[in-house]
Amino acid sequence: MTRRNQSLDLLRGVAILLVVLAHCQGESKSVVPGLSWFANEYGELGVQLFFIVSGYTMMLTFGDRLDLAATRSFYLRRVFRIAPLFWIAIVFYLLVTKGEGTRNFAPDGVGVSDVLLTFFFLHGSSVTAYNSVVPGGWSIAVEMQFYLLFPLLISLFRRSANGPLLVYALIALVSVIGQFAADHYLIPRLAASLPASQASLAEGIFYCWLPRQAICFGFGILLYDYIELKSRPTFGALFLFGASLSSAWGAEVALLAAFAFAVLTSNVSMSWVGLFGRHSYAIYLAHFAVMSAIFALFPMGLVPLFVLVSAVSLAFSYHLIEPRIERRFNRLGHALASAGRAPKAVVAVS
């Protein structure tokens, strides 16, 4: 494994620890001066850091070709990486909640349509489904939506000398227009159509939609352009940073991208944080259940809860989820992706 890959694992580790910290703070309700403030203000930015890393790694792993075979290979590897564990999480959380889902996001419980939308990664389109079937599942919907667009973006990126600039401009434009439309039209209209007690869900769903989060993936592509391709995408950076500065949240994402840039260019690594990074997907899906179970049995303060939830979630992934589920499906996805390229090799030899 290269030093740069270790830096990516470090960033993933930081991201998952931020997410776990934020959720433990919400569960424990205790106050630790400084740490509680940090968890409330910045902990959830761990998801945006995941998106930045994802944009970078998609560019890194897509391959050199821009054809149907490359696109097929990309989707097979991504689907087998994400879908099986997420589908298992759907079943698990439905069993745990007795089919009702997370009441904070579905006050009247989830229905069959919510489950089906979640199964097909379309739950970001429903105010009752976007985060109710699988806790934190909204980010998986955003990730899968970006996967659908990515082959088009990388094709545009590579087709001409101005391709990267067009990609950055497009992402910046979508981000600014999407946020403006949400803040001034979509959120007020949706909130007005909901019961007063559920009006906050309108802001939630439009926080958790791709046009709002696309800027994060854009920063990931920008970092790949600068670090891997040794480019100097000055105007692209201006587009993205300019778009991000249209809101306080966007400014935080820009600072997050600067942090990721510093980590990646310095090739820094930290073995124990990198270990969390390598198991971050399973920890992300599992830590909600682990946290609820631990706190229900042993109510405790933020620090011990955070340490215990992080350790137990990692242990579940290390000893059970990764070797028995993730690894097997990842290998199957890679095998199917490689099999799709085999006939071309045979023809070439003959």
Residue 349 predicted with pLDDT over 50: no
**Alpha-helix residue ranges (DSSP H) falling in 29-105:** 35-42, 45-61, 68-96
Q: What number of CA atoms fall less than 13 Å from residue 87's CA on the CB side?
A: 12
Q: In Å, how far from its chain's centre is CA 345?
A: 35
Phi then psi dihedrals of residue 298, to 5 deg: -135, 85
DSSP per residue over 74-92, as a string? Answer: HHHHHHHHHHHHHHHHHHH
**Residue 344: pLDDT band with limits 50, 70, 90:** very low
Do residues 295 and 27 touch, judged by C-beta distance below 8 A? Answer: yes
**Residue 269: pLDDT band with limits 50, 70, 90:** confident
Tokens representing 110 are 């989830």
pLDDT of amino acid 5: 63
Among residues 177, 183, 186, the alpha carbon closest in space to that of 214 is found at 177
pLDDT of amino acid 345: 40
pLDDT of amino acid 346: 38
pLDDT of amino acid 85: 98
pLDDT of amino acid 341: 61
User: What is the rounded CA–CA span in Å between residue 244 and residue 257?
Assistant: 11
Residue 348 predicted with pLDDT over 60: no
Residue 1 predicted with pLDDT over 90: no
